Amino acid sequence: MATEFEIIVELLLVILTITCVLQVVFLGLLLRNVKRMLESLAGARAAVLPAPVSPAPLPPAPEAMVLPVPKAPAPKGGVPERERPAPSPAAPQAPAAPGVDLLGGSPDIQGSILRLCGKYNLSDFIITTMDGLLVVSLSPGSSEEAARFSDLYRRKKKPDNPGVSFLELNHRGEPMLGILRSDRPIAPEKLRGIGEDAREILNWWL
């Protein structure tokens, strides 16, 4: 009986040992399969998940609104006198001389000089050489005035008579002197026009 019992016990131990080994092997296989399944699920999940989307840019901040500064109301009665801009003085302009034919129809050089005096509102216009020799004049007996005024001009002195002006001319390379009489001051622009017309008259008649 003891021998049979021992044999049975040994068989049971063998069976138990084999069962434990099988359980260990089964658990190892089970864990391996579970690990593979988890890896497969992780790969499938990574494939299904969409790619991360970059966040949309934020809209620009609204620009600051600049409100117009209200202007102070003008005082009653208009702008104060001290704030009004001072009017710029207008430059005096010489009146344009009317178009006058100084040469056509004139009988002689005195006729042209007479028209020149009418064009520029001159009472007389004498032309003399720098030595005082009279060339042309509208008034008889102007030789003494021509000599006296030419002497003043050579000595660089101003005319001693009011309303008299000097104008240097040049005719064919010879310097001459124009002596103008006028009741009004003669502007520089008007004086240049008189000089140009006088030279034209001299070149035409002399």
> Residue 201 CB: number of other CB atoms within 10 A?
23
Tens digits of residue pLDDT in 123-172: 999 999 999 999 999 888 789 999 999 999 999 998 888 899 999 999 99
> Residue 94 CB: number of other CB atoms within 10 A?
15
Tens digits of residue pLDDT in 16-47: 899 888 888 888 888 888 888 888 777 766 55
Predicted confidence at residue 116, as pLDDT, reads: 95
Return the H-helix or E-strand segment holding 175: strand 174-181
The domain tally of the chain equals 2
User: Is there a single domain that holds both residue 37 and residue 121?
Assistant: no
Does residue 164 contact residue 179 with C-beta atoms inside 8 Å?
yes
Provide the CA 92 distance to its chain's centre, in angstroms. 29
Please state, in angstroms and as integers, the Cα–Cα distance from residue 188 to each residue in 70, 104, 155, 176, following that order: 52, 27, 22, 19
Predicted confidence at residue 96, as pLDDT, reads: 40
pLDDT-derived band at 80 (thresholds 50, 70, 90) equals: very low
Identify whether 6 is part of a domain.
Answer: yes
- In which residue are the tokens 């008299």 written? 164
User: Is there a single domain that holds both residue 30 and residue 113?
Assistant: no
User: Is there a single domain that holds both residue 199 and residue 113?
Assistant: yes
Identify whether 61 is part of a domain.
Answer: no
The runs of H, that is alpha helices, within the chain are: 2-48, 109-120, 143-154, 188-205
Q: How many CA atoms lie within 13 A of 90 on its CB side?
A: 3
User: Is there a single domain that holds both residue 114 and residue 198?
Assistant: yes
CATH number of the domain to which 147 belongs = 3.30.450.30
For 13, the domain range is: 1-41
pLDDT-derived band at 101 (thresholds 50, 70, 90) equals: confident
Predicted confidence at residue 94, as pLDDT, reads: 39
